[in-house]
A and B are shown apart, each in its own frame.
Chain A
Amino acid sequence: MNLAPPPHRVLRLPGVLSLDSGGSLAAPAVAFETLGELNARRSNAVLIAHALTGDQYVASPHPLTGKPGWWTRMVGKGRPITPERHFIICANVLGGCMGSEGPASIDPETGRPRALGFPVITIADMVRAQAGLLDMLGIERLLAVVGGSMGGMQALQWAASYPDRVRSVVAIATAASHGAQHIAFHEVGRQAIMADPDWRRGNYLAEGTRPARGLAVARMAAHITYLSEAGLTEKFGRRLQERDQLGFGFDADFQVESYLRHQGISFVSRFDANSYLFITRAMDYFDLAAAHGGRLSQAFMATRARFCILSFDSDWLYPTAESRRIVQALVAAGRHTSFVELQSPHGHDSFLLDCPAMNRVVDGFLRAVEAEL
C-alpha cells in the first residue's frame, strides 16, 4: 500500500492549543481546502464541518481515491454553497488522518507517530482548532457554519463556543449528544480495531503493520447504521452475488455481504485506524447540554445566530426526535430557527445524497442570512 503523504494544504496554529482533557498540543497542524474568494468585507466565509470519516476535500477530488469531493451536491458552482458567492473553508478535524494533527502525526519529541500518545480530543477541541485556523486566515466572523452528522455537532458547538463568530448555523442529521446506542455501535467498531493483532496496541505505524481487517469490520458495522432497512432491502434484498444458488459456505453469497466487504476494504485505503478510535471517542463524549448546566437552551443563549436544523424521516441513527430536541432548546432560547424533517429513503446517509428539498431549504436559508448583511 502506498502511504506517501499527499501534498495537503496545511497551516500550523501558533502557540499551544489547550484541550478539554486538560492536555494540550503545541503548534498543531490543520489541513484545509478553500474554494472561492474572501470578499472585501470578509463577510462571505462559510465553514463546512465534515463527518466522522470525511475530510477537507468537500468539493475537490480526493487525493487518495481520485473520487470527487464528498459533498458536491451541496457545495460547488450552482449549488447552495457556491464559490460564486462564498469563501468556502473545510478543514480536516483535529484527530483526523488527512494532514491535521492526529494519532498518525509524528511526535516532535520522539520522532515517532503519536499513536495512543495523542490526547483524547472532543468536538469542542475540533472547533477550537478550526477557530485557530480562521484566525490565521483573517476571518473574524463566519457567514455560516454548515455540517451533517458529526459536522452538525461541530456546527452547534461553534454557536456555543464562539457565539459572536457565527451569523448562522446549518446542522443536518445530527444530535446534541450521543446516547447509549450511538456509543454502543462505536464501541463495537473500536473493539474490532483493537482486536486485530496488527493493531499492536496502537503502534502499527512504527511496527510496519496495519489493522486493516479490524478497521474494515468497524466500517462495515458503522455503514449499516448509515442506511435504512428499506434502502438496504430495495438495493439488495436477498439477491445472491454472482451465483444462482446458495454456496453452503462463508463466501459472500449475498449481494449485501459483498457490498459491505467492499465498503470495509475501500475504507482502509483512505483512513487511519487510530484516527477512527479518537474521532469516535470525541463523538461519544459529545453532550452539549451537560456542558451547559444540563440545559441545552443555555448553549444557545449567548449567540444571535440564525439556525437551520434538518432531519430525515428514514434516519434512525440521528432521528428526527434528536433534531426536535435541538429545536426545542433553540426556540426556548429565543433564537431564529428553521426546522423541517425531509423525506428521503436513504437513512442517515441522506444528507450526502441527492435531496432537492434539502438544497432548496439550505439555499433559501443562506440567501436570507446574506440579505441581512
Chain B
Amino acid sequence: MPEGARVLDVGCSDGTLLAWLRDHRGVDGRGIEIDAERVARAVARGLSVVQGDADRDLAEFPSDSVDVAILSETLQAMHRPARVLRELLRIGARAVVAFPNFGHWRVRLALLARGRMPATPSLPASWHETENIHLCTVADFRALAREEGLRILGEAHLAGWRRVPPAQANWRADHALFVLGRP
C-alpha cells in the first residue's frame, strides 16, 4: 500500500484495517459498511465510514476517486460479486480483494466424507446462518477475473499464517488475496 494513498474499504466492518492503514501508512481512507453498530464504532475511531450496501451504494462513488479499492472478506457476501468487482475498478485504479477459499481441502473433505455443508475455522457459520451466499474457490476467482477482463497484478495465499504458492493455492490455501487492475 503506497504511503498516503487514497483508499476505499468496501465492507470495512468496524474500521480496524482502515485505522491501521491510516496510522501506519498515512492513507486517506474511506469506508462503507452495512452494519450500523460496526459503522458507529468505525466513526467513533475518527474514520470516514458511511452506512450503506455495497451491492447498491457503490454507484454513488465518483470514478477514479481513490487509488486503491479494498474488498476484504466481503466478496462472498455480495449479491452481484462480478458487478461489485467492476465497481471497485471504476472507483479505484486498483482493487485488492481478499476472500476465504472454498476450494480448501478441509472444505472438500467435509463435503466428500460427511456429505454436509462444511463449517471450517475460516467459514464457521452453518449454511442457514451464514452471510456468505457466493462462496468461490481460488480457481473460480481467477476464471471470473479472466471473464471480466480484469488483470491480476499480484496474488498471495495463506494457510493459517503460512504462505502457499499460487500453483497449490486452490486446495491448500484457506485465504486468498488478489490485486486487480483494469482491463
Residues in A with CB closer than 8 Å to B49 are: 338-340
8 A Cβ contacts from B4-54 to A: 30, 36, 39-40, 43-52
Residues in B with CB closer than 8 Å to A339 are: 39, 49-52
Give min CB distance, A320 to chain B, whole Å: 9
Give min CB distance, A179 to chain B, whole Å: 21
A364-B44, A365-B43 as given contacts; A342 in contact with B60, CB under 8 Å: no
Assess the B47–A368 pair: CB atoms within 8 A.
yes
Pick from B36, B40, B45, B48: contact of A337, CB below 8 A: B48
Residues in B with CB closer than 8 Å to A332 are: 60-62
**B122 part of interface (Cβ distance < 8 Å):** no
Assess the B44–A361 pair: CB atoms within 8 A.
yes
Assess the A338–B50 pair: CB atoms within 8 A.
yes
Residues in B with CB closer than 8 Å to A369 are: 46
Query: Within the assembled complex, what's the spacing in Å between the Cα atoms of A343 and B47?
Result: 20
Query: Within the assembled complex, what's the spacing in Å between the Cα atoms of A28 and B48?
Result: 38
Pick from A327, A328, A331, A338: contact of B43, CB below 8 A: A338
**B126 part of interface (Cβ distance < 8 Å):** no
Assess the B43–A308 pair: CB atoms within 8 A.
yes
Q: Give the residue among A306, A331, A363, A368 with the most B Cβ atoms within 10 A.
A: A331
**B120 part of interface (Cβ distance < 8 Å):** no
Give min CB distance, A310 to chain B, whole Å: 9
**B65 part of interface (Cβ distance < 8 Å):** yes
**A68 part of interface (Cβ distance < 8 Å):** no
Query: Within the assembled complex, what's the spacing in Å between the Cα atoms of A266 and B105?
Result: 72
**A371 part of interface (Cβ distance < 8 Å):** yes
8 A Cβ contacts from A94-129 to B: none
Residues in B with CB closer than 8 Å to A292 are: none
Give min CB distance, A257 to chain B, whole Å: 35
Give min CB distance, A311 to chain B, whole Å: 9
Give min CB distance, A68 to chain B, whole Å: 26
Instruction: Tell me the nearest residue of chain A to B37, going by C-beta.
Output: A357
Interface size class of A (residues with CB under 8 A): 20 to 34
Number of B residues, CB within 8 Å of A: 19
Assess the A331–B44 pair: CB atoms within 8 A.
no
Instruction: Tell me the nearest residue of chain B to A324, going by C-beta.
Output: B52
**A77 part of interface (Cβ distance < 8 Å):** no
Instruction: Tell me the nearest residue of chain B to A329, going by C-beta.
Output: B60
Chain A proximity mask over B50-83: 1 for CB below 8 Å, otherwise 0: 1110000100111001000000000000000000
Instruction: Tell me the nearest residue of chain B to A306, going by C-beta.
Output: B48
Query: Within the assembled complex, what's the spacing in Å between the Cα atoms of A337 and B48?
Result: 5
Query: Within the assembled complex, what's the spacing in Å between the Cα atoms of A127 and B95?
Result: 42
**A360 part of interface (Cβ distance < 8 Å):** yes
Give min CB distance, A335 to chain B, whole Å: 9
**A336 part of interface (Cβ distance < 8 Å):** yes
Query: Within the assembled complex, what's the spacing in Å between the Cα atoms of A215 and B5?
Result: 56
Residues in A with CB closer than 8 Å to B52 are: 324, 327, 339
Give min CB distance, A340 to chain B, whole Å: 4
**A197 part of interface (Cβ distance < 8 Å):** no
Chain B proximity mask over A194-219: 1 for CB below 8 Å, otherwise 0: 00000000000000000000000000
Residues in B with CB closer than 8 Å to A357 are: 40
Assess the A334–B44 pair: CB atoms within 8 A.
no
Pick from B40, B46, B51, B65: contact of A368, CB below 8 A: B46
Assess the A341–B47 pair: CB atoms within 8 A.
no
Instruction: Tell me the nearest residue of chain A to B30, going by C-beta.
Output: A336
Assess the B40–A360 pair: CB atoms within 8 A.
yes
Assess the A367–B43 pair: CB atoms within 8 A.
no
A306-B48, A327-B50, A368-B47 as given contacts; A340 in contact with B40, CB under 8 Å: yes
Residues in A with CB closer than 8 Å to B39 are: 338-340
Query: Within the assembled complex, what's the spacing in Å between the Cα atoms of A363 and B43?
Result: 9
Q: Give the residue among B43, B45, B57, B60 with the most A Cβ atoms within 10 A.
A: B43
Assess the B60–A328 pair: CB atoms within 8 A.
yes
Residues in B with CB closer than 8 Å to A371 are: 46
For the complex with contacts A331-B57, A332-B61, A368-B45, 13 further pairs of A-B residues with Cβ separation under 8 Å are: A327-B52, A328-B60, A331-B62, A334-B62, A337-B50, A338-B50, A340-B40, A340-B49, A340-B51, A342-B36, A360-B44, A361-B40, A371-B46
Residue positions of A touching B, CB distance < 8 A: 306, 308, 324, 327-328, 331-332, 334, 336-343, 357, 360-361, 363-365, 367-369, 371
Would you mind naming 7 contact pairs between A and B with Cβ atoms under 8 Å apart? A324-B52, A340-B50, A341-B36, A342-B36, A360-B40, A364-B43, A364-B45
